[in-house]
């Protein structure tokens, strides 16, 4: 029997060879065996650690997410397909090569520029890192050398606009604008999944103008797992661009920094480990560059390792507060379950991290914009590219102390949770003033202060600690609210092409049906009540997405249709009359006489 098993495995792998973009559903119950998981992009895989996240209590949720975050720092491991990791030799060498290019720019600020760019969280981190390092230069009396691009412009910093990362030409246009008149530009394109068309097009543009640009790609998949489906309005796939860069790496004409950090705790949610790893990688690289730009000494791997280790220490220090974090998760979960709000109010850059986390809850958990919101206390004048895009755009864009006092305080109730994020040096009087005002409205006030004594964390590590805590609190609160099935956000809004493919993959995973059948089912729900024609089937993905983005519960509805072989209307009735989406799906997963899909094949047989 063993050899037959092997033959099956070999057959399935050969079948994978034709694998273009489509990742086919393996035979029922053969998901792990057939090397299916091995073929999935690491950034999109389901992390075994959080397999039962939806059944965990607050303390367990914090523990599981802590373990996921710890994978960022895991050393290269021969057994685990030895993907290169954060501490791998090759990664450190590439960082050193990039540093010397950055130093050339820092020495000639007038004719040069360092551009950081990305969609969603990657764009927000591009902004945060730009602000931090321009402030560092200003402190040294030097001119700013950094600028950022985020898909959708400054609005996307505070309110997600997920569809814009699909716009390849928009990326080029934004890049041309910021590089006007520059002779040398280090372009750092950030895409955790090696997937955003916005970034792929910018990198491609750099590759066609190497006399001016040095393209650097930051992400967390091997190039072999870069996204390979066609980009609308563009001639190359992300993978083709990445392969072109790979060839130029030898001659230092392009660089790819892509250590594996392991799958996200919520499958595909690259705002978490992907965002944290982006911050760690780029701050380490740029800090080292700034440290040695004055001295002629070359940067050493030892110096890089020292900085990286301080981030690893920040992970340890942060999770010594696990009990308090779990209490915050529980309290925030209660607020959301009672249809109340969670406010995260942070000082200086801690406020930017709070705003980012709040903005991400909308696409990540289908949250309403006022469910979880971040606010920035303190001066934000020199921060934004075009602050005008932000101010007075309506309550969705509220983010300042003034907005908090004017628009939030008056309607605060005892069911709301308010979390203050600050450091113990300096702004204490400011904090107390605001806390007093909040305490008049609710006792649900928590403070997260970074002690500047004892467990001292430098600025960048303090920010990452805040990100880990806020990501855990907002994720945990939505898990407790029943938004997650196993470790998947099944009820995702199909608002860009990556989310369209994630929806199809989740349908494959929970039904065991073929990719084609799942895609057909999804289109049926999207276009309902219109009957699908071949013309509709062959329309551009952007057309499907434009319609899907305006509809609710498209994926859960399709899942029920596929599981019960019923109509869209019947599925919608079933969802509307069910206590929760999770309950409706679980009931259908266990419907009598149903073939079991991947996510229920339980190797331990516990559920038999």
Ligand X SMILES: C[C@](O)(c1cnc(-c2ccc(S(=O)(=O)c3ccc(N)nc3)s2)c(Cl)c1)C(F)(F)F
Binding interface with ligand X (CB under 6 A): 23, 40-41, 43-46, 193-195, 221, 225-227, 229, 267-268, 488, 498, 501-502, 505-506, 509
Does residue 119 touch ligand S6P according to CB under 6 A? yes
Cβ pair 94, 256 in contact under 8 A:
yes
Tokens 């950022």, located at residue: 148
Q: Which does 46 bind (CB under 5 to 8 A by kind): ligand S6P, ligand X, none?
A: ligand X
CB atoms within 10 A of CB 530: 10
Q: Which does 120 bind (CB under 5 to 8 A by kind): ligand X, ligand S6P, none?
A: ligand S6P
What is the spatial distance between Cα 280 and Cα 282, in angstroms, rounded to a whole number? 6
Supply the DSSP symbol for 378.
S
26/193 with CB nearer ligand S6P: 193
Q: Which of 550, 355, 588 is nearest to 467 (CA)?
A: 355
Q: Which of 547, 94, 140 is nearest to 282 (CA)?
A: 94
Q: Which does 227 bind (CB under 5 to 8 A by kind): ligand S6P, ligand X, none?
A: ligand X
Q: Which does 122 bind (CB under 5 to 8 A by kind): ligand S6P, ligand X, none?
A: ligand S6P
* 518: three-class secondary structure by DSSP: helix
Structure tokens at 83: 């993907």
Strands 342-347 and 112-118: unpaired
Does residue 58 touch ligand S6P according to CB under 6 A? no
354/485 with CB nearer ligand X: 485
Does residue 191 touch ligand S6P according to CB under 6 A? yes
Q: Which residues pair with 373 in a beta bridge?
A: 343
b/e sequence 313-325, b meaning 16+ C-beta within 10 Å: ebbebbbebbeeb
Q: What is the full DSSP assignment across 192-223?
A: TTS--HHHHHHHHHHHT-TTTEEEEEE-SS-G
Q: Which of 55, 154, 64, 171 is nearest to 484 (CA)?
A: 55
The radius of gyration of the chain from alpha carbons, rounded to an integer in Å, stands at 24
Does residue 258 touch ligand S6P according to CB under 6 A? no
Q: Cβ 437 to ligand X, closest distance in Å?
A: 44
Which one of the spans 140-148, 358-366, 372-380, 475-483 is the region binding ligand S6P (CB under 6 A)? 358-366
Does residue 193 touch ligand S6P according to CB under 6 A? yes
268/597 with CB nearer ligand S6P: 268
Which one of the spans 189-197, 421-429, 470-478, 549-557 is the region binding ligand S6P (CB under 6 A)? 189-197
* C-alpha 505, offset from chain centre: 18
Q: Cβ 368 to ligand X, closest distance in Å?
A: 24
Q: Cβ 2 to ligand X, closest distance in Å?
A: 27
41/346 with CB nearer ligand X: 41
271/450 with CB nearer ligand S6P: 271
Does residue 42 touch ligand S6P according to CB under 6 A? no
330/486 with CB nearer ligand X: 486
Q: Which does 582 bind (CB under 5 to 8 A by kind): ligand X, ligand S6P, none?
A: none
Task: State yes or no: cis peptide before 553, omega within 30 of 0.
Answer: no
348/478 with CB nearer ligand X: 478
Structure tokens at 14: 């050969």
Task: Encode 264-281 in three state secondary structure.
Answer: CCCCCCCCCHHHHHHHHH
Does residue 269 touch ligand S6P according to CB under 6 A? yes
194/286 with CB nearer ligand S6P: 194
How many C-alpha atoms does 523 have within 13 Å on its Cβ side? 20
First to last CA, the chain: 24
CB atoms within 10 A of CB 522: 25
Residue nearest to ligand S6P (CB): 120
Q: Which does 192 bind (CB under 5 to 8 A by kind): ligand X, ligand S6P, none?
A: ligand S6P
Q: Cβ 352 to ligand S6P, closest distance in Å?
A: 15
Q: Which does 461 bind (CB under 5 to 8 A by kind): ligand X, ligand S6P, none?
A: none
Residues near ligand S6P (CB under 6 A) are: 118-122, 162, 165, 191-193, 195-196, 269-271, 274, 360, 363-364
């Amino acid at each position: 029997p063993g050899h037959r098993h092997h033959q099956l495995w070999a057959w399935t792998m050969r079948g994978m060879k034709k694998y273009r973009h489509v990742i086919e559903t393996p035979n029922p119950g053969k998901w792990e065996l057939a090397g299916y998981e091995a073929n999935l992009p690491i950034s999109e895989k389901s992390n075994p650690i959080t397999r039962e996240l939806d059944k965990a209590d607050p303390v367990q949720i914090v523990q599981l997410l802590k373990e996921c975050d710890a994978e960022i720092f895991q050393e290269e491991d021969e057994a685990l397909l030895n993907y290169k990791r954060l501490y791998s030799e090759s990664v450190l060498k590439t960082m050193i090569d990039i540093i010397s290019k950055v130093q050339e720019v820092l020495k000639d600020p007038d004719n040069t520029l360092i551009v950081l760019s990305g969609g969603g969280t990657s764009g927000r981190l591009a902004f945060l890192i730009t602000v931090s390092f321009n402030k560092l230069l200003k402190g040294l009396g030097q001119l700013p050398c950094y600028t950022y691009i985020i898909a959708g412009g400054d609005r996307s910093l505070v309110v997600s606009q997920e569809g814009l990362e699909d716009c390849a030409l928009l990326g080029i246009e934004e890049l041309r604008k910021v590089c006007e008149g520059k002779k040398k530009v280090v372009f750092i394109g950030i895409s955790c999944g090696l997937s955003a068309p916005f970034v792929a097009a910018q990198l491609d543009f750099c590759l066609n103008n190497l006399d001016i640009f040095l393209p650097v790609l930051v992400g967390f998949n091997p190039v072999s797992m870069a996204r390979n489906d066609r980009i609308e309005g563009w001639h190359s796939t992300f993978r083709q661009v990445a392969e072109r860069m790979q060839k130029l790496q030898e001659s230092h004409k392009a660089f790819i920094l892509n250590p594996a950090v392991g799958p996200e705790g919520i499958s595909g949610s690259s705002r978490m480990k992907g965002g944290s790893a982006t911050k760690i990688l780029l701050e380490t690289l740029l800090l080292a560059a700034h440290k040695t730009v004055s001295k002629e000494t070359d940067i050493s791997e030892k110096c890089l390792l020292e900085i990286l280790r301080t981030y690893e220490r920040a992970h340890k220090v942060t999770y010594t507060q696990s009990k308090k974090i779990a209490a915050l998760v529980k309290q925030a979960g209660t607020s959301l379950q009672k249809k109340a709000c969670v406010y995260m109010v942070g000082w200086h850059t801690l406020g930017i991290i709070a705003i980012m986390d709040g903005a991400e809850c909308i696409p990540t958990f289908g949250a309403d914009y006022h469910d979880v919101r971040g606010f920035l206390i303190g001066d934000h004048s020199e921060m934004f590219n075009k602050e005008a895009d932000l101010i007075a755009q309506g309550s969705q864009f509220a983010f300042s102390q003034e907005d908090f006092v004017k628009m939030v305080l008056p309607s605060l109730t005892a069911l709301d949770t308010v979390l203050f994020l600050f450091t113990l040096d300096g702004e204490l009087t400011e904090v107390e003033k605001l806390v007093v005002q909040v305490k008049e409205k609710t006792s649900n006030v928590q403070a997260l202060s970074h002690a500047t004594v004892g467990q001292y964390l430098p600025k960048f590590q303090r920010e990452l600690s805040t990100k880990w805590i806020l990501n855990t609190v907002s994720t945990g609160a939505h898990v407790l609210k029943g938004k997650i099935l196993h470790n998947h956000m099944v009820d995702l809004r199909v608002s860009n092409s990556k989310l369209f493919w994630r929806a199809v993959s989740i349908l494959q995973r929970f039904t065991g049906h073929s990719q084609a059948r799942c895609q057909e089912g999804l289109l049926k729900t999207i276009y309902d009540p219109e009957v699908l024609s071949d013309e509709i089937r062959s329309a551009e993905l952007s057309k499907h997405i434009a319609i899907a983005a305006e509809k609710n519960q498209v994926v859960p509805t399709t899942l029920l249709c596929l599981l019960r072989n019923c109509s869209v209307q019947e599925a919608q009735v079933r969802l509307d009359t069910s206590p929760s989406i999770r309950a409706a799906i679980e009931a259908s997963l266990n419907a009598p006489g149903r073939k079991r899909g991947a996510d229920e094949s339980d190797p331990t047989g516990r559920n038999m």
